Structure 1
Amino acid sequence: MEALIDKDQLLDELETPYTVSPEAIAFYRENGYVKLKQVLSPAVLSYYGDIITDLVFKLNTLIKPMEERTTYERAFLQIMNLWREDEQAREFVFSKRLARIATDLMGVEGVRLYHDQALYKEPSGGITPWHADQFYWPLASPNTVTVWIPLQETPMNMGPLAFAEKSQTVEIGRDIEISDESEQILSDELQSKNFAVNDTPFELGEVSYHAGWTFHRAGPNVSDKPRKVMTMIYMDKDQTIMTPRNSYQRADHAKWLDSFPIGGKPESELNPVLFSY
């Protein structure tokens, strides 16, 4: 007989503060990312992981065989804004625990949601090329951060996220979309400038936070199981919408910021404040 799930306990965990050490905050600000252990319990990951997985397979429209996909399509199945599809997914995405960590790492007063996205790298899924997320976002301030939450233990053969340390401070590759070209150009650039790369497995319950301009990539999934990951992108609640610089930012302005006025705050109902001091 299955153990009964105490839903109140799971919800309580998602709301309870996780203490981020001063060392972790300093590490994040210097290196542009940090990995934190035991942020979420196996019970929370199992319960909400099942809900997220069901939504991914229900909402996924990418059904081409792997060999017919682009590099980007081979990298993962990508489903966004699950919080608008399902009340229980919303409980997870709106976690104050996770949003408060983002607030503390950036040293801001509070954070809004930009959007969430599930990233499922299927067995035989390819690399995720080097890129910086903020290339896609029409946001003026670098105070943006993504939490990357593996829903299972993620050893090297599943393609965990890897980070180029301190790369959030350099102006290279800020005009390159994620592609074979970004992998090659940024790999060469990061190597020539001697950026250390953190490419290590994730334990169950370990999560990472990376800044919008931190370059990151992931290896292929050569295991026989999908690499299931949920992410939320947070921005300073006082972030400013800027004039889009490329077609992706124009699309993001309409889709994730509800075309709110340029020069103003992203205060649409799509971008709720998830935590504030």
Structure 2
Amino acid sequence: MTTATQAPIGELDTPYEGLAPTAAADFNRDGFVHLSGVLSPGTVARYEPVVTSEVIRLNTQHLPLSERDTYGRAFLQVSNLWQENEEVRQLVFARRLAGIAAALLGVHAVRLYHDQALYKEPGGGITPWHADQYYWPLSSDRCLTIWLPLQETPLDMGPLAFARGSHQLSYGRELPISDESETRLRRVVAEQDFEDVVEPFALGDAGFHRGWTFHHAGPNRGTHPRRVMTVIYMDADIRVAAPTNDNQTRDRAWMPGAEVGQIPRTPLNPVLYDSRTA
């Protein structure tokens, strides 16, 4: 693609200059942030075809949408693409993105938990209300996800939406993503008067949200897949926690060999940014 050559040399390793001085405090208050121009359109155009080709190659969901449950209709999900493709690894390991994560969390360094490509097909359904950290056996809330669309994402494609301040709420943290989480969390978000922030994403924009921030997405009413790359970052000093549900037990596979109480210094969890060596 001709646009690939337009990606700035070294952009993935250069600092992002768009964070406000109050960014960490704002993120701690709101539980999410929507940042503009995190990557240039040329850089997104360079990596989108690579990620998409790997999703097509590695996808194991082949049922028609009409035969899937709510979770299955929400998106195609492929994880740890960085292990499959060197170019995807460049994107997942980008110091620019990890540096934003560390700054927002207020920590000196972050390590990788894992990545996920989430592709909502045309006609794909809602992503139910949920909080990601329900799935993570981690010892603190110093972890977040970047939601990086690989195309312009108008409202009819189902951009990710966040309940402002909901990470402060303990209700509903026992719920996996499901029809039940959609019903119960949609109700409590309204009852607690949390603002449901639904915004389109321009090409190069990205959302960052804390592990306990409740979020959701609408269906994809467009004619093209809503292509998104996500990366989960955690405080480099975080420790493995004892699982509190079966999903957390399974998620320990993302930190192979790390025991409860240990920092997950494993080959799958490298430090991606450390301000002391930046």
Smaller-chain TM-score bracket? over 0.9
Give 1:126's aligned residue: 125
Q: Does 1:34 align with 2:27?
A: no
> What is the identity, as a one-letter code, of the residue corresponding to 1:109?
H
What is the CA distance between 1:3 and its match in structure 2?
6.2
Quote the residue 2:194 is aligned against: 195
Gaps of 5+ in 2: none
Structure 2 residue aligned with 1:261, among 248, 256, 259? 259
CA contact (8 A) 2:4 2:45 kept: no
One-letter amino acid matched to 1:102: A
Contact 2:121 2:224 in 1 (8 A): yes
Distance 1:276 1:168 in 2: 25
What is the CA-CA distance between 1:27 and the residue it aligns to? 1.9
Letter in 1 for 2:230: T
In the TM superposition, residue 4 of structure 1 has moved relative to its aligned partner by: 6.9
TM-score (norm 2): 0.96
CA distance in 2, matches of 1:108, 1:134: 18
Alignment of 1:216-255 (within 5 A): 216-253=215-252, 255=253
Q: Determine if the alignment matches structure 1 residue 17 to structure 2 residue 12.
A: no
Tell me the distance in 1 between the aligned counterparts of 2:4 and 2:202.
25
Aligned counterparts of 2:226 and 2:110: Cα–Cα separation in 1: 28
Farther-moved stretch of structure 1 (240-249 vs 17-26): 17-26
What displacement does 1:26 show? 2.5
Q: Does the 8 A contact of 2:142 with 2:238 survive in 1?
A: yes
Structure 1 residues 1-277: aligned runs within 5 Å: 2=2, 5=5, 9-10=8-9, 12-19=10-17, 20-253=19-252, 255-277=253-275
Measure, in 2, the Cα distance between the counterparts of 1:152 and 1:4.
14
Q: 1:23 Cα shift?
A: 3.3
Return the alpha-carbon distance in structure 2 between the equivalents of residues 205 and 247 of structure 1.
36
How far apart, in 1, do the equivalents of 2:182 and 2:21 lie? 33
Unaligned runs of 5+ in 1: none
User: Does the CA contact (< 8 Å) of 2:4 and 2:43 recur in 1?
Assistant: no
What's the CA shift for 1:22? 1.5
Distance 1:4 1:220 in 2: 30
Alignment check: 8 A CA contact 2:12 2:91 kept: yes
Deviations 1:121-176 (A, max 9, x none): 00000000000000000001000010000001100000000000001111010000
In the comparison of the two structures, how many residue pairs are matched? 274
Aligned partner letter, 1:268: T
Report the secondary structure of 2:5's partner residue: coil
Distance in structure 1 (CA, Å) of the matches to 2:183 and 2:100? 33
Secondary structure in 2 matching 1:101: helix
- Offset of 1:118 from its aligned partner? 0.3
Query: Residue type of the partner of 1:155?
Result: P
- How far residue 231 of structure 1 moved from its aligned partner, in angstroms, is 0.4
Residue identity matched to 1:276: D
Q: What's the offset of the Cα at 1:6?
A: 6.0
Cα separation, 1, equivalents of 2:183 and 2:250: 26
The AA in structure 1 aligned to 2:154 is P
Q: Using the alignment, how far apart are the partners of 2:181 and 2:2 within structure 1?
A: 47
CA distance in 2, matches of 1:259, 1:195: 39
Cα offset, 1:2, TM superposition = 3.9
Question: What is the one-letter code of the residue matched to 2:129?
Answer: W
CA distance in 1 between partners of 2:107 and 2:122 (Å): 39
Residue identity in the other structure for 2:81: L
